[in-house]
Structure 1
Amino acid sequence: MIRAAILLGLSSALLGGCGMRPLYGGGGNGAIGQTLAAIEVAPIEGQQGWLVANALRDRLRASGEATPRYRLQIALDDQIIGLGARLNDTITRERRILRARYQLVDLATGGVLVDATAGSDAGIDVVGSEYATIAAEQSALERLSGIVADQIVARVALYAKRVEDAE
């Protein structure tokens, strides 16, 4: 017990001197939280667009509401590709790929501040039940929407941190 306390104290001292600072320092009241809360998400076409936009809004509004100063414009590419095949040429495995090209636009100037891509993919087993396969494809889309939203928010937060550090 004493040994664990000593190790914890030493590791805390070492981490304090490494110069690392939390990205979301200050929580929702910090500069990064305020920047994220000031981003509006432009409408995105299709069901996958609705899922990604809602996931983004949930993550951006986690620190509260603010007057929009930025807009995220997103174009999605959603594909399902068959991978494995049986002797009778039926697909046994699919890969769902969701990619997003996004831009963070300054509403005051119309300038593009961030222009990047995010994406992920998921494997899906194709089973004898068509309903089960469709349900698995839908579940994969829901998971991928959250992953892509996390990637976008992380990239925008890093941009906001660089701007804050430069000021």
Structure 2
Amino acid sequence: MRILLSLMAIIALSSCGLSPMYAGGARADVAQGLGAVEVPAIPGRGGWLVKNALDAQFGMAGQTTPQYRLDVRLDDSLEALGVLNDDTISRERRILRARYQLIELATGSVLLDATAGSDAGIDVVSSEYATIAAEQKALENLAIEVADRMVTQVALTLRNRAVAGQ
């Protein structure tokens, strides 16, 4: 009975259609495509952080001839959330949104036009230095999170493109 159940489970798993995105390691189409994405400079401190996170995620950035360009526009904002009776702010929300396009350099066609974003809550304390440090750390964390989301979407786009080309 156990053998029959095991066999049925194996058959069910093989028919689910799941396939590893990075099958083949560094030689996989997706890995090669990610390594061929260049990211131009993005204005501002948040832009610098997002570009560095993207370059780290793409791994082989600058090691191959670029085939794609990822154009990114950021919107970074701070909002006051908690206002006390004496009109001081007790809580802030930092929001980082990115609008990005993946462009194939050979044809100039836009392969992906999407947005990614995240936000973080910040406690405003009596120390101005501590509040500024918290705001900066929130921006660093948000830049990594937004870059992760962008890379995932780019990888899915490149994978779908490779599957369609087979």
Fold match, TM over 0.5? yes
Of 31, 40, 43, 1:42 maps to 40
Distance 1:64 1:53, change over 3 A: closer
What SS does structure 1 have at the residue aligned with 2:59?
helix
What corresponds to 1:144 in structure 2?
142
What SS does structure 1 have at the residue aligned with 2:106?
coil
Contact 2:38 2:61 in 1 (8 A): no
Q: Where do 1:5-154 residues align within 5 Å?
A: 13=10, 14-61=12-59, 65-154=63-152
Amino acid in the other structure paired with 1:129: S
Structure 2: 5+ residue runs without aligned partners?
A: none
Contact 1:42 1:73 in 2 (8 A): yes
Residues in 2 aligned to 1:158 and 1:100: alpha-carbon distance in whole angstroms: 18
Structure 1 position 66, deviation (Å): 1.7
What SS does structure 1 have at the residue aligned with 2:108?
coil
Residues in 1 aligned to 2:93 and 2:152: alpha-carbon distance in whole angstroms: 25
Calculate the TM-score normalised by the size of structure 2: 0.90
What SS does structure 2 have at the residue aligned with 1:102?
strand
Distance 1:131 1:77, change over 3 A: same
Contact 1:105 1:113 in 2 (8 A): yes
Residues in 1 aligned to 2:121 and 2:108: alpha-carbon distance in whole angstroms: 39
Distance 1:166 1:130, change over 3 A: same
Aligned-pair Cα RMSD in Å: 2.0
What corresponds to 1:165 in structure 2?
163
Residues in 1 aligned to 2:30 and 2:41: alpha-carbon distance in whole angstroms: 23
Calculate the TM-score normalised by the size of structure 1: 0.89
Identity between Structure 1 and Structure 2 (%): 57
Distance 1:10 1:125, change over 3 A: farther
Structure 1: 5+ residue runs without aligned partners?
A: none
Residues in 1 aligned to 2:109 and 2:86: alpha-carbon distance in whole angstroms: 54
Residues in 2 aligned to 1:12 and 1:147: alpha-carbon distance in whole angstroms: 35
What SS does structure 2 have at the residue aligned with 1:78?
strand
Distance 1:11 1:78, change over 3 A: farther
